[in-house]
Amino acid sequence: MNYIRLMVQMGLPLLVIMFMVIELMLPRIMPGQEPRQVRRNAAKGFVFLNTIILAATYWEVMEEPIIYRLGGVFGQGMYFQINLLNYPFLVLAGILWLLVGYYSMEDIHYLFYTITYLATQGAFLAGDFLTFFLFFELMTLSSYALMVYHRGEEQLEAGFVYLYMGILGGLLLLSGILLLVAYTGTAEWVHLAAQFSEMGSIKYLIALFLLTGLGMKAGMVPFHFWMPRIYEKAPFAVVILSSAMLVKVGGYGMLRVMSVTFSAGAEDQAPFSAVLWQVSEQVGLMLLWAGIITMIAGALLALMQSNIKRMLAYSTISQMGYVIMGVGISAYLGYLGVYGVAGTLYHMINHLFFKALLIMTAGTLFFATDEVNLYRLGGLWKKMPVIAILTLIALMGITGFPGLNGYVSKTLLHHGLVQAMDQGPASLQMAEWLYKAAGAGTVAYAIKYFYFVFVKSGEVLLLSQSSLLPDGQVVGPSRWMTQVMTCLAVIMAFTGLLPAFWIRHLMAPAAMWVSRVPALVEIQLTGLNFWNGKDLLGTIPVFAAGFLLFILGRRFQLFALELPRWVSAEQVILHPVLSFCRRFSTFCVKRYESPIIFGDALIYAVTLFVMMVLLTVFQIWAR
């Protein structure tokens, strides 16, 4: 008997049921305790046990995927699978939720906190499109409840944009799924390149619907504008979950679509046929450019922000551009796109660590100063030295500084981009220049953030003198905060200094799982030297350009510039859509609903009158 599989197939559902019972009963059984604290501990305990069970499946998954089916649910059944591609995200999601649970001092709804975790895990576990769509939408709704829990007017307004874009993205995803099922007869994550090669233009429409719906969740330009609006108003704990993990669901979905659905598999008779890779190549090239544009736009807009939360939102958009570009590279190169797959996975994992750390340090600053405008801060290096060091580590990671985790994944992605440039059109040379320009922009906004918060002279009004130590240093409001952030910094150093460990145990197996040529993965990834002179020296021009950009921006007040309204994606996309919906609904009410309502009222009045007359006649007749 395989106890690991039994533990997954029986233990995880029982764990969910136990949690729901505890959630409903404990506050009533133990009325003397604060219900919020009971829910918080129950949620953390559930996530911890769930993560332990999933982590224990590693050696089993290395042999073959663990499959679990629920027949009869929604008529089609639900299909779950633990494989080498989703395993890292299943475990890391649990680690992130636990860290946020210990870090957060804000009042968040722990039932929705847990439901969001379950929905995220369900999306990663999904073995078919319909199961993925169900949990994808549940994740949107539960995370919306987390974001607007405090029910302020501004939070509700920002949450409306998030919910609207989430539902729109879900509808596009569903449209693509329905077309996929109609034309291929399957909704499972399987290789369909052979069938696509015999179809017409509908295959590109399917790709458009699927990738646009997922791109909205991933923050892809021009569908990115929901992120800064909701991040500015949401609690820091929710921003951490969204930026570090929820947007990854969109990136993961795009990777599954391009590396599995639109790709040729080993079961195809000619997996290396150019015809089978035609859709993957063409759509991959478009995704590659979409990622480049997202990188550049996010870095540029991050430079122009004064609000810390909005800067972090645009930073996430820019970093997700690397992920989208990596998906495009892997799809464009087909069975040769090993660097694209490994770089995409590695950067999603790295982004989880350095962005979670950066947002946590920003939250600690806010709890100590009640300020999110970085121009009103300054001089906090001496008062908060530990937070300053942790912030510097996070910023070095996000810029790709050698020795930290961002350097490794960005090096992999750059290798993939160079490989695509060598085999593709001349225009991809421009893509590499823009890739380096985005890196310089990342360095520039990282320097800007650290300079205005910690280095620039200034006196910050602290919320309470109780936040001060005798020597004038500031500590966060929770004793857990520094420990959680230090843990993230250590993981960043470990993944950055020992990339071979992660490559060997996570990235290479995942790349082999989607690769048509496992031997090629072995050749390109195993023993890859990240510390060669060419890659290390290649970072110098990027950092130098970033320093120069920061100096010029501060000298000529370029950071204070605002883009014209006509280039705003929100003005171009969201407002026209909302206006059309309002006008269309008004038209329907005036043209159809009002006459129908009037007709119904008239019929109701006539019927009532006739019934009253008949009742009167019957009464008279009875007498």
Q: What is the mean pLDDT of the chain?
A: 84
Among 114-123, 274-283, 571-580, name the most confident range. 114-123
Q: Which of 146, 160, 115 is nearest to 236 (CA)?
A: 146
Instruction: Give the predicted TM-score (pTM) of the model.
Output: 0.89
- The proportion of the chain whose per-residue pLDDT surpasses 90, expressed as a percent, equals 51
Average the pLDDT over 280-291 and give the result: 95
Q: Using the structure block, give the residue that is written with the tokens 């609207």.
A: 164
Average the pLDDT over 101-107 and give the result: 78
| HSE, side-chain direction, 13 A CA sphere, residue 411 | 26
Q: Which of 112, 176, 170, 106 is nearest to 144 (CA)?
A: 112
Lowest mean pLDDT among 16-25, 378-387, 480-489: 16-25
CA distance 434 to 418: 13
Q: pLDDT tens across 43-74, in order?
A: 888 999 999 999 999 999 998 888 888 776 65
pLDDT above 90 for 288: yes
Residue 340 DSSP one-character state: H
Query: Is residue 74 within 8 Å of residue 90, measured between CB atoms?
Result: no
pLDDT at 32: 54
Average the pLDDT over 275-303 and give the result: 94
CA distance 600 to 620: 30
**pLDDT confidence band for 477 (50 / 70 / 90):** very low
**pLDDT confidence band for 367 (50 / 70 / 90):** confident
pLDDT at 617: 53
For residue 467, give the amino acid letter: S
**pLDDT confidence band for 562 (50 / 70 / 90):** confident
Cβ atoms within 10 A of the Cβ of 613, count?
Answer: 10
Query: Is residue 143 within 8 Å of residue 169, measured between CB atoms?
Result: no
For residue 278, give the amino acid letter: Q
Please report, for residues 246, 290, 420, 453, 546, the alpha-carbon distance to residue 326 in angstroms, rounded to integers and kept in the order given: 18, 11, 11, 32, 23
pLDDT at 50: 92
pLDDT at 203: 93
Query: Is residue 321 within 8 Å of residue 294, measured between CB atoms?
Result: yes
CA distance 100 to 481: 9
3-class state of residue 548 by DSSP: helix
**pLDDT confidence band for 388 (50 / 70 / 90):** very high
Q: Which of 249, 12, 277, 273 is nearest to 140 (CA)?
A: 249
pLDDT above 80 for 586: no
pLDDT above 60 for 321: yes
Please report, for residues 99, 389, 582, 608, the alpha-carbon distance to residue 603 in angstroms, rounded to integers and kept in the order given: 62, 75, 29, 8
pLDDT above 70 for 307: yes
Q: Which of 130, 120, 411, 359 is nearest to 248 (CA)?
A: 120
pLDDT at 584: 56
pLDDT at 493: 92
3-class state of residue 476 by DSSP: coil
Among 57-71, 87-101, 224-238, 512-526, name the most confident range. 87-101
pLDDT above 50 for 200: yes
